[in-house]
Amino acid sequence: MSDHDATTFDESITAHEAAPASILAPQYRATTVGLVSLVALVAFESMAVAAAMPTVARALDGLPLYALAFGITLATSVVGMVVGGQWSDRHGPATSLWPGLACFVIGLLVAGLANDMRMLLAGRLLQGLGAGAISVSLFVLAGRCYPQSLRPRLFAAFSAAWVVPSLLGPALSGWMADTIGWRWVFLAVPLAALPAAWMLRPALRGHADTAAQVPRRGRAAWACGAALGLCLLYLGGQTRGGAALAMLVPGAALAFACTWRLLPRGTLLAAHGLPSVVALRGLVCAAFFGTEAFLPLLLSRERGLSPVWAGVALSVGALGWSLGSQYQGHARNGWSRHRFLRVGTGAVFSGLVLTCAATWPSVPVWLAILGWTLAGLGMGLISASLSMLALSMSAPGEEGANGSALQLCEATVVAGSMAVGGSLFAALLATSAQAAYLANFAIALLMALLAMAIVGRTGARGLVVN
């Protein structure tokens, strides 16, 4: 579908659909609760496991494989995204959701019952495959079940579903590890995931027959190559010296070569329309998460905040994200998606400038926290808007491929920028801590500047918020 056709198609929907009042209207209630519950559970698993992993690695005598326990999940999620998107486009989202849910649940059970680190890694591998397939199938289901006018609210609900796990997940995970045991951090999630998915059965049955417009061959092989490249990038970013280069260089080359085959044509050059939508997702996420990775360390190690208060500082970014997403979903100001993206990218860049200024001791910490809140607010405006645009630019049978492209671009650019940033940080820290932080923040700000440069190429001018 051309950019002009996509915008015209979307405007037509906006103008002519008789939209229900709410995503909790009777015909959508079960689907909405099921979708949001699954998003929240995947978010909780991600946050809780990250907090519990030091305890898990010590218990299983697996500290040398600590980094791989995270990298392998990120890597295999790429395969799940791509294969799940292809299956969703060809045979409907049920063919992606149920196998994805099975992999996710089995992976959690394997990890929760692991008696050594290798068994835990096998579980984490399955978790990544399942999470990738689930995320794409939920994206496709959102596009096929909800009218255009309700999608902003649905994506706002998705963002809100990440906030509570972000705030409570680490603390709850620590409590579980200290009381009933770390294994329940993995074993508790399936108890809630299966009922949530069961609520989606009617919606899945109603969207099982859409076939992809264009056959896509060889995507699974390219996805496996991209996954291997991302895993090398992740491990390289956790390594020092020559060993880091030995993984970073081939990892970057492999991830780039394979990811390029899986993204819409023109993404690397930010071509007008969908390619720029996908590229913008990767850039803003790399800017935000690249800063988030080093902000707690900066606030605690260099500015003297306790771990609790450093965590609170991060939490305000999550709250800002949720507020921004809620605002774009419920605003009645006639703003176009293009304006949301313009304002959002500007807020991310301005917020990151204020946040990164905390590298200098003379800058008050409260200013950095204010900046982080502003950056989160911008991400809330951007993230849901990009998902909306990707759906509006997808012909029937293309939602899965375009949804997986959004997430794949994000994973690749974030992993690549953080691997480079982590290596620079390690190399500069012994000489100058300030230079080490500034090198990482410079990468994040460069990504945010590139995002501001291409936002006008997203073809979002005609999309008006209802």
Residue 59 is predicted with a pLDDT of 87
Find out whether 173 and 189 touch, Cβ atoms under 8 Å: no
Instruction: State whether residue 464 is helix, strand or coil.
Output: strand
> What tens digit of pLDDT does each residue of 194-210 get?
888 888 888 777 655 55
> What tens digit of pLDDT does each residue of 363-384 get?
999 999 999 999 999 999 999 8
Instruction: State whether residue 336 is helix, strand or coil.
Output: strand
Residue 57 is predicted with a pLDDT of 83
- In whole angstroms, give the CA distance from residue 176 to residue 155: 30
Residue 292 is predicted with a pLDDT of 86
H/E stretch holding 74: helix 66-91
2, pLDDT greater than 50: no
> What tens digit of pLDDT does each residue of 166-199 get?
777 777 777 887 788 889 888 888 888 888 888 8
Q: How far is CA 292 from the centre of its chain?
A: 13
- In whole angstroms, give the CA distance from residue 85 to residue 95: 10
Find out whether 57 and 65 touch, Cβ atoms under 8 Å: yes
- Residue 331: pLDDT band with limits 50, 70, 90: low
Q: How many CA atoms lie within 13 A of 23 on its CB side?
A: 24
Nearest to 109 by CA among 40, 221, 185, 4: 185
- In whole angstroms, give the CA distance from residue 331 to residue 398: 29
Tokens of 120: 């835990």
- Residue 217: pLDDT band with limits 50, 70, 90: low
- In whole angstroms, give the CA distance from residue 295 to residue 360: 13
> What tens digit of pLDDT does each residue of 251-281 get?
888 888 888 888 998 998 889 999 999 999 9
Q: Classify the C-alpha dihedral 442-447-452-453 as positive or negative.
A: positive
- In whole angstroms, give the CA distance from residue 368 to residue 418: 21
> Which residues, at least 6 apart from 421, have a Cβ–Cβ distance to it below 8 Å?
237, 290, 293, 294, 439, 440, 443, 444
Q: CA geometry: angle at 191 spanning 127 and 123, to 5°?
A: 20
Residue 245 is predicted with a pLDDT of 77
Residue 127 is predicted with a pLDDT of 92
Residue 6 is predicted with a pLDDT of 43
Q: Classify the C-alpha dihedral 283-285-288-289 as positive or negative.
A: negative
Q: For a pLDDT cut of 70, what percent of the chain falls above it?
A: 89
- In whole angstroms, give the CA distance from residue 218 to residue 261: 10
Nearest to 288 by CA among 263, 310, 258, 320: 320
Residue 288 is predicted with a pLDDT of 94
> Which residues, at least 6 apart from 206, have a Cβ–Cβ distance to it below 8 Å?
145
DSSP-H helix ranges across 359-464: 365-392, 399-429, 433-454
Cα distance between the two ends of the chain: 24
